[in-house]
Amino acid sequence: MQLLRLDREPSGLAVLTIDAPPLNLYTARLQEELLSAVEALAVDPPRAALLRAEGKVVSGGVDVSLFAEQADAGQAKVLFDRMLEVPERIAALPFPTVFAAHGLCLTWTFEVALACDLLVASERASFGLVENVIGLTPTMGGTQRLAARAGVARAKEFVFTGDRYPAETLREWGVVNRVLPAEGFAEAAMALARRLAAGPTRAHAATKRVLAHFEHGGVAEANREVTGIAAALFDTEDLRAGVRSFLSEGPGKATFTGG
């Protein structure tokens, strides 16, 4: 039985579902399925992707036996490098990614969520990086990605305490984009992802490139790159069609194909 499902809609939306009952724990097998799925998305890009999970919780964390198998620091480094590939590859995807958290979201799933462009959460969701219970620090980029969204002091508090934080608190911190009602959450998250998939795909990719420059080098680097990135969009059919539609029909009427 596979632990992941990758479904593609005619709309251009890809839906990656974690389904490893009962707790969606991170295992060596799940790791390889994740990397294969992300590679499939990179090779044949959709227009947007939604990452979600089945079950009562998003994840209860990592199967600790995976750590027990590491004989020394050298072996652990190999494992951690492989684990870090998952969120790194997700962050590098050239289209919008949305993570939908419907319930408890611990360790690796939160770190993957932070690698996505948008994080939406049910009002019942909660989040934690609880590696401190075994004397470890997060290894999949969660600490630094959390700091990028919420600040260093918040990231330290989050990781030091290992507490579980409700979705609304993380929305206030700027970590969660939207907190949605539990009733109809799955449908609302899907609707948002489909909206992004229906948008100007190449322009969304350009936005991600500009913001990547900002993350790496601040406003100055982003300013050096933004005009060239934006100008290249004039070679896309979406922009040409969007301009024609605006001039003939007014704003908000254009249909984008991703070309």
Token pair recorded at residue 3? 């632990």
CB atoms within 10 A of CB 88: 14
- pLDDT value of residue 189: 98
Does residue 197 contact residue 48 with C-beta atoms inside 8 Å? yes
92, amino acid identity: A
Q: Which fold has domain 4-197?
A: 2-enoyl-CoA Hydratase; Chain A, domain 1 (3.90.226)
Phi (first) and psi of residue 53, to 5 degrees: -140, 150
Lowest mean pLDDT among 20-34, 35-49, 65-79, 179-193: 65-79
Answer yes or no: is pLDDT of 256 > 90: yes
In the chain, the percentage of residues whose pLDDT exceeds 90 is: 92
Where is mean pLDDT largest: 69-73, 122-126, 213-217, 234-238?
122-126
Q: What is the pTM of this model?
A: 0.94
Of 21-30, 53-62, 155-164, 248-257, where does mean pLDDT reach its minimum? 248-257
Average pLDDT over residues 26-52: 97
Summarize the confidence of residues 214-243 as an average pLDDT: 91
Q: Is 190 left (phi over 0), alpha (psi -120 to 50) or beta?
A: alpha
234: which DSSP letter? G
pLDDT tens digit string along 74-105? Answer: 999 999 999 999 999 999 999 999 999 999 99
What sign for the dihedral angle of Cα 136, 125, 39, 234?
A: negative
Cα 15 to Cα 207: distance, rounded to the nearest angstrom: 22
Instruction: Look at residue 1 and tell me whether its pLDDT is greater than 90.
Output: no
Whether the pLDDT of residue 139 is over 90: the answer is yes
Confidence band, pLDDT 50/70/90 cuts, at residue 252: confident
Here the tokens at position 15 are 């839906």
Q: Place 181 in a pLDDT band, splitting at 50, 70 and 90.
A: very high
pLDDT score of 24 more than 90: yes
d(CA 128, CA 16): 22
pLDDT band at 174 (very low <50, low <70, confident <90, very high): very high
pLDDT tens digits, 54-76: 999 999 999 999 999 989 999 99
**Average model confidence (pLDDT) for the chain?**
95
For the chain, give every domain's residue range. 4-197, 201-249
